[in-house]
Amino acid sequence: MRPLHLGALVLIALIWGASFMLIKIMLEGMTPVAVGWTRLGGGALLICTVAAARRPSIPRSFSHWRDVTAIAIVASAIPMVLFPWAEQSIPSNLAAILNGATPIWAAILTVAFLPAERMTASRLLGVLLGFIGLAVIIGADGLDIRSASTQGQLAVLLAAFGYACGAIITRRRLLGADSILLAGSQNAIAFLLLTPYVIFNAEVPDFASLGGRVLIASAALAFLGQGVAIMIYFWLLKNVEATQVALVTYLAPVAAIGWGWMVLQERLELVLIPGLALILGGMLLANRRPRPVPIEA
């Protein structure tokens, strides 16, 4: 990997790692749905502007837009609301660590819905380690569904499942689609889906009255986290191996822990460390590609 690619990878990890901290700050002046709505709106505006400048060919088939809408619902609208809702009751660093369940869910769904994939021993071990790590982090208190903390943690796991579903739909139905146009339209559709709720429930943020801290967090999350980072991510996918790009999944939780400590003074509870190690190990094994069998002459 060239220094430019490595720098881009670290930049994405820092931006996406900061997203959890930025959500926490935005909650000081917005409802959870408004946080997701603002994030999606800014991202859609930026990415769609870039996509329009490239003058892409707009797909006309109903099936394409049906699939994009499905992804917008399960991988954008729902997770963008679940994360801020969860962070009302759990620290941002815990949300970031639990989001590590995304590749674990993806490994299971890949085997179930992509016929070319199979459940290898390393993938199965990775899934098991990942779930053990999640169990360690949630702890015995996770049995108390009435607890706000437990509900928050389960909401993050559900959001991670939505991300994984979106990835599977993309790979199965939209492989080869213009990535920038896909990201922009996905954000825009999710934004439009949330708009009636935000308006009818009077949750549209009064940006003029929000403090500078909340406004800066909103702009950073919308334009950097939901816009710039996504475009850099797709650029990397075209220039380096997918397994190298996947490193961002391991770096982002570490960055989130650092951001939470520096900006929000959040402490990393010692009980989270073994759970995080198990999840990272599980992610590595679950996404490991089997070596090709050499053909002897």
Residue 291: pLDDT over 60: no
Q: Exposed, middle or buried by CB within 10 Å (0-12, 13-18, 19+), for 92?
A: buried
Report if residue 186 sits inside a domain.
yes
Q: What is the pTM of this model?
A: 0.88
Report if residue 219 sits inside a domain.
yes
* pLDDT single digits (tens) 82-107: 999 999 999 999 999 899 888 888 88
pLDDT of 296 reads: 44
* Alpha-carbon gap, residue 257 to 163, rounded angstroms: 21
Report if residue 291 sits inside a domain.
no
pLDDT of 297 reads: 35
pLDDT of 280 reads: 84
Report if residue 293 sits inside a domain.
no
Q: What is the number of domains present in the chain?
A: 1
Residue 235: pLDDT over 70: yes
Residue 269: pLDDT over 90: no
pLDDT of 196 reads: 97
- Assigned token pair, 25: 């700050």
| Residue 204 neighbours by CB distance under 10 Å | 14
| Virtual torsion, Cα 166, 74, 130, 221, nearest 10 deg | 90
Query: CB–CB of 57/240 below 8 Å?
Result: no
Helix axes 78-86, 3-26, angle to 10 degrees: 60
pLDDT of 241 reads: 67
pLDDT of 294 reads: 43
Residue 128: pLDDT over 70: yes
Report if residue 292 sits inside a domain.
no
Report the mean per-residue pLDDT for the chain. Answer: 88
Amino acid making up residue 296 = E
Report if residue 181 sits inside a domain.
yes
* Alpha-carbon gap, residue 23 to 13, rounded angstroms: 16
Query: CB–CB of 187/229 below 8 Å?
Result: no
Residue 56: pLDDT over 90: no
Report if residue 296 sits inside a domain.
no
**CB hemisphere CA count around 5 (13 angstroms):** 15
pLDDT of 54 reads: 87
**CB hemisphere CA count around 112 (13 angstroms):** 10
pLDDT of 73 reads: 97
Query: CB–CB of 163/19 below 8 Å?
Result: no
Query: CB–CB of 267/257 below 8 Å?
Result: no
Q: How far from 126 is each of 97, 272, 277, CA to CA, in Å?
A: 16, 18, 12
| Virtual torsion, Cα 227, 96, 175, 110, nearest 10 deg | -170
- Percent of the chain whose predicted confidence (pLDDT) is above 70: 93
In 73-147, which residue ranges form alpha helices assigned H by DSSP? 78-86, 92-98, 101-113, 121-138
Nearest Cα neighbor of 70 from 198, 154, 170 is: 170
Residue 150: pLDDT over 50: yes
Per-residue b or e along 50-77, where b marks 16 or more CB atoms closer than 10 Å to that residue's CB: bbeeeeeeebeeeebeebbbbbbbbbbb
Nearest Cα neighbor of 164 from 256, 172, 225, 20 is: 172
Report if residue 297 sits inside a domain.
no
Residue 36's domain spans which residues? 3-286
Query: CB–CB of 193/44 below 8 Å?
Result: no
pLDDT of 283 reads: 78
% helix, strand, coil for the chain, step of 5: 75, 0, 25
